Amino acid sequence: MYELHFLSSAKKEFARLDTVAQKIIKEKLLLLVTNPDILKNNIKALKGEYKGKFRLRINQYRVVFQVKEDILVIVVIRVGRRKEVY
């Protein structure tokens, strides 16, 4: 099982979302840390500015994250609507 860490900027972005979106995203992130294979259809490796990172698609929201396999940590980098994240 992975640990979940947020960058301070990602925490602020998450806090700005409405409570319904926060609840949905929180549920998906908990699934991600316990069993990432369940969400594999919604996870995609990113290119360009975010090369080496991944995005999790949750309805109209995107969570950009990085996986640190050696210490079993998932670091959330960005959270928001698609048009705001990219």
What lies within 8 Å, CB to CB, of 72 at 6+ separation is: 1, 2, 3
Check if 83 is active-site: no
**Which one of the listed residues 12, 23, 68, 82 is annotated catalytic?**
82
Sign of the CA dihedral running 15, 74, 1, 25: positive
Q: Catalytic one among 40, 47, 51, 83? A: 51
Show the tokens assigned to 52. Answer: 């080496």
53 is catalytic: no
Catalytic positions:
51, 82
